[in-house]
Amino acid sequence: MLTELNVNQFAIIEKLNIQFKQGLNIISGETGAGKSVLLRSLSLLMGAKASSEFIRTGSTQSQIEGRFDLTLRPDIALHLQSLDIPLQDQELIVRRIIGPGDKNKVYLNSCLSTLAVLRDIVAPLIEVAGKNAPLIELTGQHENKNLLSKNYHLDLLDQYAQSWPLRNHYETLWGEFIKNEESLKALQNKSQTGSQRLDFLLFQRDEIQQCPLKQGEDIELELKVKKLKSKQKLLQYLHSILTSLEDDDDSVILRLQKIMQKGQEFSPLDARLHEKLNSIHQALNIIQDTHFDLNKILEELNNDHEDAESLEEKLSNWRKLQKKYGPQFEDLQRSLHEIENEIQEIQNSESLIQALTKKQNELMNRISTEGTKLHAIRQSVIKKLTEKVNTHLKDLNMKGVTFHVHIQALSTPQASGMTEVEFLSQTSPQDPPRPLVKVSSGGELSRILLSLKCVLGTSTFPRTYLFDEVDTGVSGVTANKVARKLHQISTGQQVICVTHLPQVAAVGDHHFCIQKSPTGKSVHMEINFLEGQDRIREIARLISGEKITSTSLAHAKELLTSSKKNLSKISELEPR
């Protein structure tokens, strides 16, 4: 629901604020007061193209902002979430900024967006009870893309036939069919080049498997290669240590042993000497233990016959694999797993292709069955739908205009079923029925849509309907019927109607009046919410024109009172 509209420096509008509400919102005003400008600003919220020509004279930019309450539109909230657009208090704020040189910007909840995304969210081409119901549906002097779309016609028909559950089931099957078809095509393409690809994959698998290192083993191997490269120097160094410690005639151990032997002669003469000789004895024991350990290391090195070059080659191969498949051990394992899976897939491609082909045929059979059921349901309601719509059109004084529905079964299933539907209009008995896009004016489209909405009732997702020209060429009893039908479809959702008929204005739940007045060299436009005597005077103006009389005031007051009193009773008699 559109809750608020702010327009600044746009055409003749300097600054405008309107707070719309649920139900039937009436907009009236004298001819040339600026209703078309207001409608143009609303069309910009739906994604219409903007031009710098719209900027008010003397200003550098225009800004149009619309606030939408999404409380009853969880589908839009989810769509915004998928686009990473934040949502607070279940509200969407659309802002269009029009700058010089057609430098325009679109913001959705303060996030810079694109015109395409705006159109997708606020006013998609396909709507109604489907997955893409718009926030605003605009009918009248601006192009009504929805009512001129065959897809929209099909959505309306499914809403009337209450066949959306079956259609959703059909579309789920269709989605599975498309996904399975993509998998099958991908597998068939792989199978065509499978031989060459298989040879390459087998080479990659063998390349990895021939270098079977464990996690962290490459670091150990690197240290081992470094150690083996320095083995000769290490052996020489150990030999020199062992010789110095014991194997030489003047070795450290031999000297210390002589010192201890000599010390035994003199230690009884001085207790302090005995204490120091004990320290030397301890040092001698440590050196002898060290000599033993070093000798053991020497033996291990002499017994290690690993070849540094072979280990270095192994490490080099490992480094090459890391460059190809990733620096981490996990990368190598993951690549090996993917390669083995693809090898298995190629080797088993024939059986997989057969399985997917079988599944594809089964899905197509199910789709054809469900599509045939869906078409039969759609076809069964055509007669009743056309009769009801034409009854409403007759009520709306659409003389000579007959509504038709062309329906055709498709031999090949499509995404939305096996049905092609198009709404047609016949302007006279002598003329053949023709598509709406070729024969209907803005006023005719508005009244056809009004009739359809009266027949269909409120759709799955409430939205804002904006009617313009719906009362063109209407007066008297027909005007009363237009008024009742507008109020009927506003139940549970929002209708904004631009009107010059007092009968329509009188049934509105909320009434706004547009006024335009010259101010110096420019023109000032404002819109006011009417209630009480102000609303009575505006309806009186619609009755009698510029000169408001006591008779027209009395008539306006009576029209308001009787409309509210009789609306509920009369609406029960409306054809559905």
Q: How confident is the model at residue 174 (pLDDT cuts 50, 70, 90)?
A: very high
Phi-psi map region of 23: left, alpha, beta (phi>0 left; psi -120 to 50 alpha): left
Distances (CA, A) of 21 to 14, 108, 193, 211, 216: 23, 21, 63, 74, 69
Q: Is the pLDDT of residue 119 over 70?
A: yes
The reply to whether 277 falls in a domain is no
Q: Following DSSP, what letter does each residue of 63-112 receive, concatenated?
A: EEEEEEE-TT-HHHHHHHHHTT---BTTEEEEEEEE-GGG-EEEEETTEE
CATH of the domain at 513: 3.40.50.300
Ranking 161-170, 262-271, 384-393 by mean pLDDT, the lowest is 262-271
The reply to whether 103 falls in a domain is yes
Cβ atoms of 267 and 274 within 8 Å: the answer is yes
The reply to whether 248 falls in a domain is no
The reply to whether 80 falls in a domain is yes
Higher pLDDT, 144 or 520: 520
Higher pLDDT, 523 or 93: 93
Strands 417-426 and 402-414, sheet pairing:
antiparallel
User: Domain range spanning residue 49?
Assistant: 2-141+157-167+382-389+442-571
158/417 Cα distance (integer angstroms): 11
278/268 Cα distance (integer angstroms): 13
Q: Is the pLDDT of residue 143 over 60?
A: no
pLDDT value for 348: 80
Q: Which helix (H) or strand (E) holds 517?
A: strand 510-519
The reply to whether 363 falls in a domain is no
Calculate the CA dihedral of residues 108, 113, 114, 119 and round it to 10 degrees: -20
Considering the entire predicted model, what is its pTM?
0.65
Q: Is the pLDDT of residue 570 over 70?
A: no
Q: How far is CA 228 from the centre of its chain?
A: 61
The tens digit of pLDDT for each residue in 451-495 reads 888 888 765 667 788 887 677 777 778 888 888 888 888 887 888
The reply to whether 209 falls in a domain is no
The tens digit of pLDDT for each residue in 217-260 reads 666 666 666 666 666 677 788 888 888 888 777 788 888 888 88
Sheet holding 434-435, edge to edge: 402-414, 417-426, 434-435
- Pick from 158, 108, 24, 78: nearest CA to 493: 24
Average pLDDT value for residue range 186-196? 77
pLDDT value for 469: 67
The reply to whether 426 falls in a domain is no
Where b means 16+ CB within 10 Å and e means fewer, 194-223 reads beeebeebeebbebbeebebeeeebeebee
Higher pLDDT, 291 or 332: 291
Tell me how many domains the chain contains: 1
The reply to whether 456 falls in a domain is yes
Rg (CA), the chain: 44
- Pick from 503, 512, 509, 477: nearest CA to 562: 503
453/481 Cα distance (integer angstroms): 14
Q: Following DSSP, what letter does each residue of 352-374 receive, concatenated?
A: HHHHHHHHHHHHHHHHHHHHHHH
pLDDT value for 449: 80
Q: Work out the mean pLDDT of the chain and round it to a whole number.
A: 83
